[in-house]
Amino acid sequence: WSRTAEKLDGELHVGGLAVPALVANVNTPAYVLDEADFRARAAAFREAFAGYDVYYAGKAFLCTAVARWIKEEGLFLDVCSDTELTVALRAEVEPARIGYHGNNKTAMELRRAIISGVGRIIVDSFHEVDRIVSIAAETGVPARVMVRVTAGVEAHTHEYIATAHEDQKFGFSIASGDAFEAVRRLLAAPNVELRGLHSHIGSQIFDSAGFEVAARRVLALHARIADELGIELPELDLGGGFGIAYTSQDDPSTPERLATDLTRIVEHECRALGIDVPRLSIEPGRAIVGPAMCTVYTVGTVKEVALDGGATRTYVSVDGGMSDNIRTALYDADYSATLASRVSDAPAVLTRVVGKHCEAGDIVVKDEFLPGDVRPGDLIAVPATGAYCRSMASNYNHALRPPVVAVKDGESRVIVRRETVDDLLATDLG
């Protein structure tokens, strides 16, 4: 839960507001974003990682208001599409404080990023090297870049969100020599300023061992570049991926502990290699926005299903589902849920919170003990839905993507409105 969330007489309150009254205005499903919590997490990273540049990974959740908060909290912003760049510029984030990611940026996207003065483009392939070199030569605008490397690490997370093993699409392999070759070509190009190496090992990671192995390999390459090409690259990015608590089973690290661990690892390696510590940066997304948001649903139907062995499971269907939270279906992710609108003394029963979409995998929360008298009209809140839920939301079954309501100090503001039928049908040309 976000830090201002509390239950009062059975009603969930966030940001000093009663959630039932709040959603009576905006309807459900709705994402409720605790602005104070978001800002506090951003500030905690900035303070714990003093001396680093902290980039908020906008892919976790981005809108203009959030980009503004990031700017106000003194963070940098990482985008990974032309439209995310548009949002960042619209929020007047200084272009020099924007990083641009992606494994398949088009020449048009790269040109716009370079002309806008983006602080760093993270280069991911030889085709992109060629595109950047020719755009920088042709426009005369310097391109500031980093080289994304694959450190060959097996991060302990879901396969789809692990990114540092060899057999996946991101980065230049260190082991094959591609990373060194990309660096060599970029250093030789006129008008291209290579800022450093970049490594991101995956997402929802709890154990710093993966970061340690990656840092060791990336710094070895950094030292080899200094040795053989005579250039000590000024920067190094260690990526994001810091895990959060989705349920009480998860025990995430704090920004302070992460900062201590990462700094110790890098300083130790640099000492051993006899090189200066480069300017470091990180890119947390989930750890800043994930816990700051919850999703509020209205219960529509309740059904009891017999399980093998005589037990039962209660299926509570809510008015959203995999269109507003695909993570359970896609990554087998765990979430929790709570009754958010009233007190209940009914004994808890094993419940599965499911959506309203046309497939059995449309599950929001796999297992939760909820009061046995949950009924249509009740509100259910699912915490920690800030990261990769609204940003990965879909229009499956022509669902209208829910709004994001920011709450703070007893005030609420819709920062992303609910889609309308007209929004959706505007692209349907009949």
CB of 51 to ligand LLP, least distance (A): 19
CB of 157 to ligand LLP, least distance (A): 8
- Bridge-based pairing of strands 293-306 and 312-318 is antiparallel
Kindly state whether residue 101 participates in binding ligand LLP, applying the rule CB under 6 A: yes
Query: Contact 27/356 with Cβ under 8 angstroms?
Result: no
Kindly state whether residue 195 participates in binding ligand LLP, applying the rule CB under 6 A: no
Kindly state whether residue 61 participates in binding ligand LLP, applying the rule CB under 6 A: no
Nearer to ligand LLP, 101 or 217 (CB): 101
Alpha helices in 121-254 (DSSP H): 126-139, 178-188, 209-229
Which of 80, 294, 358, 389 is flagged as catalytic? Answer: 358
- Bridge-based pairing of strands 17-18 and 98-100 is unpaired
Q: Which helix (H) or strand (E) holds 299?
A: strand 293-306
Q: Any binding-site annotation on 285?
A: yes
Q: Any binding-site annotation on 241?
A: yes
Among 57, 118, 143, 153, binds ligand LLP (CB under 6 A): 57
Mutual angle of helices 82-90 and 64-72, in 10-degree steps:
60
Among 204, 208, 253, 336, binds ligand LLP (CB under 6 A): 204
Distance CA 210, CA 55 (A): 20
Kindly state whether residue 197 participates in binding ligand LLP, applying the rule CB under 6 A: no
Kindly state whether residue 53 participates in binding ligand LLP, applying the rule CB under 6 A: no
Q: What angle do CA 287, 288, 290 make, to 5 degrees?
A: 70
The candidate with the shortest Cα–Cα distance to 233, out of 224, 244, 246, is 224
Phi then psi dihedrals of residue 138, to 5 deg: -75, -40
Which structure tokens are listed for 239?
């990526």
Among 171, 285, 291, 402, binds ligand LLP (CB under 6 A): 285
CB of 173 to ligand LLP, least distance (A): 16
- State whether residue 292 is helix, strand or coil: helix
Provide CB contacts within 8 A for 130, sequence distance 6+. none
| Residues 301-330 interacting with ligand LLP (rule: CB under 6 A) | 327
Q: Which part of the chain contacts ligand LLP (CB under 6 A), choosing from 106-114, 199-207, 346-354, 378-386? A: 199-207
Applying CB under 6 A, the site for ligand LLP has a residue count of: 22
| Residues 384-413 interacting with ligand LLP (rule: CB under 6 A) | 387-388, 392
Q: Any binding-site annotation on 246?
A: no
| Residues 110-169 interacting with ligand LLP (rule: CB under 6 A) | 161
Phi then psi dihedrals of residue 360, to 5 deg: -70, -25
Q: Which part of the chain contacts ligand LLP (CB under 6 A), choosing from 130-138, 233-241, 292-300, 398-406? A: 233-241
- State whether residue 372 is helix, strand or coil: coil
Q: What x-and-dash track marks residues 1-40 binding ligand LLP by CB under 6 A?
A: ----------------------------------------
CB of 118 to ligand LLP, least distance (A): 15
Taking the CA atoms of 37, 41, 42 and 47 in sequence, report the sign of the dihedral they define.
Answer: positive
The residue to which tokens 């700017």 are assigned: 71
Give the single-character DSSP code of 248.
Answer: T
Among 284, 355, 371, 402, binds ligand LLP (CB under 6 A): 284
- What is the full DSSP assignment across 66-85? HHHHHHHTT-EEEE-SHHHH
- Bridge-based pairing of strands 11-14 and 235-237 is unpaired
Instruction: For residue 270, indicate whether it is catalytic.
Output: no
Kindly state whether residue 200 participates in binding ligand LLP, applying the rule CB under 6 A: yes
Question: Which residues make up the interface to ligand LLP (CB under 6 A)?
Answer: 57, 59-60, 101, 161, 200, 203-204, 239-242, 283-287, 327, 331, 387-388, 392
Q: What positions carry a catalytic annotation?
A: 358
Binding-site residues, in ranges, read: 241, 283-286, 327, 331, 359, 388
Binding-site residues for substrate, in ranges, read: 286, 327, 331, 359, 388
